[in-house]
Every structure is written in C-alpha cells, then in structure tokens.
Chain A
Amino acid sequence: MLVDQGDVLAALATVHDPEIPVLSIVDLGLVAEVTVDGGRVSVDLMPTFAACPALHVIRQEVERRLRDLPGVEAVAVRFVLEPVWTVDRISPEGRERLRSFGIAFPGEAAPPCPYCGSTATRRESAFGPTLCRQVYYCDGCRQPFEALKAVGRMGGGS
C-alpha cells in the first residue's frame, strides 16, 4: 500500500499545537513542504518563535503520526529557516477557532474582544503567557484577553 500527499496532510491536520490545542499545525500554516518518495516521507515545518517550547512536542507528534500511517517506512521532520512563518499564514477557520478559544487574531488596529465583540480594547502588554501572545483589556466587558503577536507583518498592525 502506498502513501500519498493527501494521507500525509490528513495526518498532519491531526497534530495540534499543545499551547493552543484548538489549532492544528495545518490551521497554523506551519507546513512548508511535504515530500513523499515511495515509503519515505519528509516534512518541512516553519518555526513560529525561535524559542517556542511547543516546537519539540510538535516535531515528535508529527513523527509519531506519520510513522503510524500504513505504507510509511521512514519519516524525516525538519524545521527550516525559509520560508519564514508569519501570523497571516493562519487559515480563516483557524482564526475563528482561535477567537472561540479566547485569543484574538491581530488586526490593523486593536483587535475586537473575543468574548463580547467590543472594539473598545487596548493593549496592556506586548508580552503574555506564551511567546506568541500579548495581553489586551476590553473596556466593553471589563476583562483582560489575549491576542497573538503580529509577527512577520512588518509595519502594519500591533
């Protein structure tokens, strides 16, 4: 039985970010390239933040899921420096799931509150509980919330 690109991508869509479990690595746009050569599969992933501890977990999980696929004999997973991941690689579905999880997607201005939808929000700190997140406050429902950092989006958005 031969494995194909579709099988590999379907398996990658079951690997979730341990720090944002509603998002798969496909939603996140981490997959740069998938190569299938007979039973040998290689996957290139883009690191999000250089020091993100989730990357190790993601690599192990990708290796495990791919080795479990019928027809796969060898798996190679690499993190590549190019292309560079940016926040805009997150899929539209991923952005919506992120919002339902309570994390706003960064926009051109301060993002709307993921809880009440108010646009009366302001940033409290550029640094949050993980490297990829910053902390906002909603004047509408008077709650703090988190938004992703707008990494890779030079000049626009906060």
Chain B
Amino acid sequence: MAPEPLVAYLLELADDELLLGHRHSEWTAFAPTIEEDVAFASIAQDEIGHARLFLAAVAERTGEDPDRLAFLRGADARRNAVLVELPNRDWAFSIARQALYDLADDVRTEALLLSPEPVLRQTAALIRREERYHLEHGRLWVDRLLAGSGESRGRMATALAEVAPQAAGVLMPTDAQAALHDAGVLPVSGAELVRRFQGRLAAWLGAEWAARAVPSGDRAGEHTPHLAALLDQMSEVLRLDPEAAW
C-alpha cells in the first residue's frame, strides 16, 4: 500500500538528505585540506540531522522506527534524487554536487516556509539556519575552482555540466508532491521550483549554465546500481543485529 502523500514526501526529503550526508561523509580523512575535511564532515552531519527530523515526522505519523526507515528500506522503496546516490569521484564533482544540491534545496525549503502544514514549515525554518553556511561553502569553492588553472577550470566545468541537470532533477515533482500541491500543502509546483533554480543559477554562474539545468534523473523510483551498494554499506552494522540496543 502506498503511504499517504505527506509521509511519502517526508521520506523523499529524508532520503535526499540522508544519502547525500553519507556521500559527503566519505571525504572524512581524505579531503584536500584539513579545513575541508572538517567542512565536509560538518555538512554531512547537518544533512543527516535534517534527515532525522524528517524521519521523526514520519515516525510520529506511522509509528515506525526512524532507524529502520533510514537503514532498512531497500532501493525499490527509495524516492531520492539520483544525484545524491552517485559515488564521489574527483573533488570538483563533490563540490559541484554540494553546491548545486544545496542551491536546489534552498529553493525547495524556501517554498516550504509558506506551507500550511506545520511540520514542513517549521522543519524548513530550522534547517535553513544551517544551510546558509552550506550555500556559502559551495559557492566559494565553485567560484574558486572556476577561477583556477586550466585543469581546475576544466574539471569544474565537466562536473557542473553533469551535475546541473541532476540538481534540477532534485526538484522534479513526484506523484506525492503533485498530490500535495493540488491539496495546497505544497504552495509552489515542481515546475516553478525548477524555474526558480534556473534563475538562481543564471544570476550566479550565467545564463549558459542555467540553460543546461534541464531536469534529468526523475524521482519516480528509477535508480542507478550505486544506490543498492550504498544502502548495503550504510546498513551493514545494523543488519548484524537489528534488535541491538545502542
């Protein structure tokens, strides 16, 4: 049985934040500078904290256990954007993904501030206090790498070209979102969110980059094989003894 739209949407938000948080955490001890090691670890921790808020909201409505929701749902049940499940590659890719995901998330949570549903409005307000530092971080690094040497510029441009459509895809409406939009719970349509994202990209990186942000990677449940591998790794310890008390 499909969950009610609000629960489905909360799980979409939770999965985006949880999986990207896990991907960011993979830089711990491997980032190019100690400051970036700390930055990615902190951003990862923030995102996982946001996932926890969304999962707590699900748990309140369904009585399920947030940890099991986080770790024991299979790839088939996930509705995250494809962007967040992709493996890290070079530094430019991770920076492009952090910067553009957080830009898309900023557009999304800004719209949630106007939702009549308290849990969406209040959670958005809480997490946006933290996200301003993520936005600043991503912007600073993208600008820095684009202003660097030929190799730096080239890698950043390659990463942005790949990430821009996928980041726009974060805002692609699912059935749950469409139902919530029709019901007035989500005040802004997915199509309008994508337009706002493109507008923000145009103001920052220029119209040519905004034009590339044509959404790809829909959220209807199609995933890359990377997701199953990622979930396998994330749940490895919990699966050893799902009943253990921590």
List chain A positions with a Cβ less than 8 A from chain B.
Answer: 47, 49-52, 81-82, 84, 86, 124-129, 131, 134-135, 149, 151-152, 154
Contacts and interface: CB of A to CB of B under 8 A. Distances in A.
A131 B129 contact: no
Given A50-B130, A86-B129, A127 B39 contact: yes
Interface string B122-143: 1101110110110011000000
Contacts of A82: 118, 122, 125
A92 B178 CA distance: 47
Interface string B43-54: 101101110110
B76 interface: no
Given A81-B123, A126-B137, A51 B49 contact: yes
Query: What 8 pairs across the A-B complex have the smallest Cβ distances?
Result: A51-B49, A50-B49, A81-B122, A127-B42, A127-B39, A151-B129, A125-B35, A51-B45
A131 B119 contact: no
A59 to B, nearest CB: 14
18 contacts: A50-B53, A50-B126, A81-B118, A81-B119, A81-B125, A84-B122, A125-B39, A127-B39, A127-B43, A127-B133, A127-B137, A131-B42, A131-B46, A131-B49, A135-B35, A149-B133, A151-B130, A152-B129
Contacts of A149: 133
A31 B175 CA distance: 39
B38 interface: yes
A49 B49 contact: yes
B49 A125 contact: no
A132 to B, nearest CB: 10
B38 A128 contact: yes
A128 B36 CA distance: 10
Nearest to B37: A127
A76 B20 CA distance: 34
A49 B137 contact: no
Contacts of B48: 51
A82 B126 CA distance: 8
B133 A126 contact: yes
Contacts of B137: 126-127
Interface centre among A51, A124, A134, A135 (most CB of B within 10 A): A51
